[in-house]
Amino acid sequence: MYTPPLARLIEQLQRLPGIGPKSAQRLALYLLSRPREEVTALAHAILDCKEQVGHCQVCGYLSVDPICEICRNPDRDDSTICVVCDSRDVIALEKTREYWGKYHVLGGVISPMQGIGPDQLNIPTLVQRVVKGGVKEVILAINPTVEGETTTFYVGKLLKEFTKVTRIAFGIPIGGDLEYADEMTLIKAIEGRQELQ
């Protein structure tokens, strides 16, 4: 149905998350209709990204430089580290512009089924950062799945003797209605209740 190079492109696009056969076809035909420069720019952007972007040596977040911008930023609070599962979580938290501490990206959660144990995660550098001193609080912000909970407790236990460790609360979204919150969220919200200041 498609001429071979087009078929290859559609097939590649289809492998992307959230892209089905129909969207892949639409994207491919769109790209084909664009001027050469535009398509080249896109192709180069993809390649450059892959070749240049690595992980920050300190926190593990995506970065071109050995040490990322967040870690280098002198205005950010060195004494708070927020621990997350992957770089996507950093992006989400950064978008809020409310958090001014530093991060640490674990690169996954403990999952024996996928052969991921603490040794496969970016944990030793986190311990080093905390042991070095100056960290007043580590905030664990990991999804409360079965694997996430194990990871949260594992990391928490390692760090507890060196600093204060907290975890983010899970609960009702702001503007949400208690009546419509699902029951599991309600249970988590009640477990994570706080005293009214």
Q: Which does 154 bind (CB under 5 to 8 A by kind): Zn ion, another protein, none?
A: another protein
154 touches another protein by CB under 8 A:
yes
Q: How many residues does the chain have?
A: 197
Question: DSSP strand E in the chain: where?
Answer: 54-55, 62-63, 80-84, 102-105, 137-140, 164-167
Query: How many angstroms separate the CA atoms of 178 and 156, rounded?
Result: 30
Two tokens, residue 132: 């070095």
- The answer to whether the beta carbons of residues 57 and 51 sit under 8 Å apart is no
Which value, in Å, is the radius of gyration of the alpha carbons in the chain?
21
146 touches another protein by CB under 8 A:
yes
Residues 74-113 that bind another protein (CB under 8 A): 110-113
Minimal distance, residue 78 CB to another protein, in Å: 28
Pick one of 157, 164, 176, 192: the residue that binds another protein (CB under 8 A). Answer: 157
**Cβ proximity to Zn ion, 56 vs 142, nearer residue:** 56
- Report the interface residues with Zn ion, using CB under 5 A: 56, 58-59, 61, 68, 71
Can you give the binding site for another protein, defined by CB under 8 A?
110-113, 115, 117-119, 145-147, 149-150, 153-154, 157-158, 182-184
